[in-house]
Structure 1
């Protein structure tokens, strides 16, 4: 069944809702199986993520990471590419942010450092995506394989740099020195009058993420390059016939995707940790794949899906605290079920939904 067989409101609204409902139903059965009340578990999860100021702050903090990685995957999707290298690209983005902050934090305020950190993160992420892109475009190496292998190379490179090159003097920890105030983004509650998010590290990178959403929307649907990207993703043969270069589109799209993934590091490195350290990516790159799928590769959908996964991260932590039987591993299972239904089983309900809507759709004779 083709994607166009459903009206847009059903394809972009009803289908993700059905997939999400199926995921939570399966999760409820798992919770019931271990002897806990699924309804009570949902209440704790929702309250833990949205029921109090600090919970909202943490939910939006996690959502900021998912917006960046979801946009990265979505841009590649539109060109028919599958970028699984968000983890490695975010790692290298962290290196770009750290270099900017370490160079400027003692001399200028944060608002001068921020543009350089953004450029450093985007440039480092784009550079890390360039090699898989050129291998795909010039040599036919599948971008899925190369990007996922580059994740391991990035992790190993970061360990080497933090242990042998960038570690602060006299410390055994694989991390840089802590940034001075000139290398730290202010928290939103310090900028917005009356806002109170407790100890949540929600910072100005959320604004940067939302600006990236608007930029991606304008790029994909309002520019010549975006039209070429969508045309190449829909029909590469027709795109070549129309004079669109596959090499150029592949390389440019993957570099934009890598740049967006690299910008995730702004939230973690400059906004929260205030230093470069090991494992700051924490799987956000892989979750971005599910965010892009659930959000139908559209910035608005990605924002909503990012908030959902932010709720799962924050509410899941509260649920594990309130219900010891529901361990952190169980929360990972629930997140995995959402990813499963939003990704691998995305079209499971499509044939039935098409038949159901067709039964209620008036025929041409009835309309006449």
Structure 2
């Protein structure tokens, strides 16, 4: 039974009392506490808390003060505070803004390093997130990055083209290589039902050993006259230009990933292709009944996903490692992208923000290690903990005493059933 704002909250029929609708602020609070965004934020907070505990346990001053904790407990508390606050302040100054820098140009360099580290993470994360929305798990980021790096790198160091055109050709070559390598998994799933996780893992190995062989073979990727498994340097006409000058590492690739984020948002939210992607991801059987070619969506989705991950490989070759690259050019970004996509809840702008966060961890981790002698592996542990907490929303809700969506849903359903029973009794009494 529905009510309007002008109707009373009590029914005119005897014995029937309607449940009043929740207030505006109550509904807003419910949406915030039961949404996905709050879980991501609290997962990061929990990971930082656990990371702080690890920093305190591994700090020498804390260990020394804890030896006489019962005699002078404040010494241990002060040592813990100094260790944890010093580490996270160093993390902030290495990733966002250095307050101790002599000039403003030097002070803002940390944020540019964060954006530089975040650039390939965002691109690869978008590729993984897009695959997630189609119901596919693209775990082949490493292989797709390697193939894209090889294609873009070969064009960059072997061809002689004018400035600008050379960069565009190398970029397109990398995107196509990444798309085709991922498209193999999409085609096999569409035609044979092969699971994309197994296929992409195997393609990672194939790509790695194929690129390793090409780096050791003269005339392919190996630098002429060199016995090292490394390519020649990229030609200046193909390298991404700097955005803020030679004093900073931030390059044109960051503009490209902003455009890629907008493109993925438009595809998923505004295009018919994106609607079909989401329909297949929600229920492929229902999508097939509705007339959507599910097999085609798998192929198209993996092609676009591979191109986005390929953009990460191109960024590595043309924007970061321009002096030549080896088989470790992916730098683990293909697997970090899975974490970025999970933290971003497989949404374009969420993935963009998550990529910047993880870029800050990478940039600030080295500063934290240098300033406070904190093992940089602590940052890796924090990243892993973020994934752990995101994968366990009930744990996060229990720790922070947040209401459970399922419990709230059952409560509303129980109230509705009670209302219907009361209505039935009232109608029976009137009869």
- Fold similarity call, TM over 0.5: yes
Q: Decide whether the 8 Å contact of 1:95 with 1:276 is kept in 2.
A: no
- CA drift of 1:201 comes to 2.1
Tell me what 2:303 maps to.
255
Q: Does 1:137 align with 2:186?
A: no
- Aligned in 2, Cα 1:248/1:350: closer, same or farther, shift over 3 Å? farther
Structure 2 spans left out of the alignment, 5+ residues: 1-29, 60-79, 98-106, 420-431
- CA drift of 1:340 comes to 2.5
Tell me what 1:42 maps to.
88
Matches within 5 A, 1:70-81: 70-81=125-136
- CA drift of 1:103 comes to 4.1
Tell me what 1:341 maps to.
389
Structure number with larger C-alpha Rg: 2
Query: In 2, distance between residues paired with 1:28 and 1:68?
Result: 30
SS at match of 1:189: coil
The structure 1 segments of at least 4 consecutive aligned residues displaced by more than 6 Å after TM superposition are: 361-365
Tell me what 1:3 maps to.
none
Matches within 5 A, 1:1-368: 7=31, 10-35=34-59, 37-51=83-97, 52-104=107-159, 106-109=160-163, 111-164=164-217, 165-190=220-245, 198=247, 200-274=248-322, 275-324=324-373, 326-342=374-390, 344-346=391-393, 348-350=395-397, 353-355=402-404, 358=408
- CA drift of 1:12 comes to 3.9
Deviates more, 1:178-187 or 1:68-77: 178-187
SS at match of 2:327: coil
- Aligned in 2, Cα 1:180/1:9: closer, same or farther, shift over 3 Å? farther
- Aligned in 2, Cα 1:286/1:347: closer, same or farther, shift over 3 Å? farther
- CA drift of 1:24 comes to 1.0
Tell me what 1:193 maps to.
none
Name the structure, 1 or 2, with higher relative contact order (CA <8 Å, separation 6+). Answer: 1
Q: Deviations over 1:88-115 (max 9, x none)?
A: 10111101211321344x3311x21222
- Equivalent pairs counted in the alignment come to 348
- CA drift of 1:23 comes to 1.1
SS at match of 2:368: helix
- CA drift of 1:47 comes to 1.0
Q: Deviations over 1:309-361 (max 9, x none)?
A: 0110010011111122x22333322222223323x3355335763348959x9
Q: Deviations over 1:289-314 (max 9, x none)?
A: 11111111112111111111011001
Q: Decide whether the 8 Å contact of 1:78 with 1:230 is kept in 2.
A: yes
SS at match of 2:237: helix
Structure 1 spans left out of the alignment, 5+ residues: 1-5, 191-196
Q: Decide whether the 8 Å contact of 1:122 with 1:260 is kept in 2.
A: yes
What TM-score, normalized by structure 1, do the two folds share? 0.88
- Aligned in 2, Cα 1:347/1:65: closer, same or farther, shift over 3 Å? farther
What TM-score, normalized by structure 2, do the two folds share? 0.76
> What is the Cα-based RMSD across aligned positions, in Å?
2.3
- CA drift of 1:10 comes to 4.8
Query: In 2, distance between residues paired with 1:148 and 1:38?
Result: 38
Query: In 2, distance between residues paired with 1:92 and 1:48?
Result: 32
Q: Decide whether the 8 Å contact of 1:12 with 1:296 is kept in 2.
A: yes
- Aligned in 2, Cα 1:93/1:29: closer, same or farther, shift over 3 Å? same
Query: In 1, distance between residues paired with 2:304 and 2:359?
Result: 24
